[in-house]
Structure 1
Amino acid sequence: MRKGFTLIELMVVIVIIGILASIGVPQYIKTIEVSKATDAVSLMTMIGNANRMYRLDNSPYYARGTITNTCNNNTCPVVTGSALQDKCRLIGCNYVAKHDWGKAEYDFYACDGGTGGRCCAAGAVACTRRKATGPASYTGWGYRLLDTGECKEFGAGVPTCPKI
């Protein structure tokens, strides 16, 4: 009598492993993406709250625009008028800590109630959107923080705003 597995037994095991992988891998990838979205919402909330504080100090101006690594080198000179809308002032004036914005999986925007970036909308003080470099089914994910403090999600299949 020979010891070992028959070809049929090995084929059955391979089919079962294939079925488990076809279910498990997509769920694993989605779990990773939801985790990245939660991190992005945390940073967006920090930016939004900082932008609301910034407006209190510089009324009637919100900072607005895409926050990038160049903002990490900004200072906080005394300015007036529309120069107060420079998004880099949030970091330069220490409303938001320096961060490696380029490594983030999401882009971040300071909004002034409707303008400031590709995901800003009426009433938003900050928003974030998944970079196009991610998996195609997740690149439309995005979130907005409204002036009321409410988080709103947008995009196809995006999970609801996580509780921070």
Structure 2
Amino acid sequence: MWFDSWFDIARVLAVGTAAYVTLVVVLRLTGKRTLSKLNAFDLVVSVAFGSTLATILLSSDVSWAEGATALALLACLQFAVAWTTTHLPGGRSIVTARPTLLVDEGRLLAEALQEQRVTEDEVRQAVRSTGSGDLADIAAVVLESDGSLSVISSSKAGNRSALEGVRRAS
């Protein structure tokens, strides 16, 4: 089955766009830790391409034209998101969460930890993995957009310019 109807093509475009936006919003609302190493639009496209391909291959209810349209739509949406994040002021913050400061000058920031759903034990583990045994020796721990923890020791903090753009607890 190569083509069923224009209505089916339009349905894929409309439902595909709505599903893509919904998934990005849901992932953005659930926080950085949900993504663990991927930003929202990378995860959406990776999962969606795989799922779409499986559906095209396994479901007789989806024509090839619908599947091809869905894949092209995902690629176009990915391009649009990538373009927005690099060309529009504030575009990146729509799709990708800003990094958050969790430790400042050796002090755990309880409000930031709670807001980002990170435990003190997770922060201590990240500090230990750098070879440091004392939080007092740490200038900053940052929860990055991909869910990883970056640890900056006091001896390497310099002028702290690497922390520009990092969100501080309110």
TM-score, normalised via structure 2 length? 0.29
> Relative to total residues, which structure has the larger strand share, 1 or 2?
1
More helix by percentage: 2
Higher relative contact order (CA 8 A, sep 6+): 2
Largest Rg, 1 or 2: 1
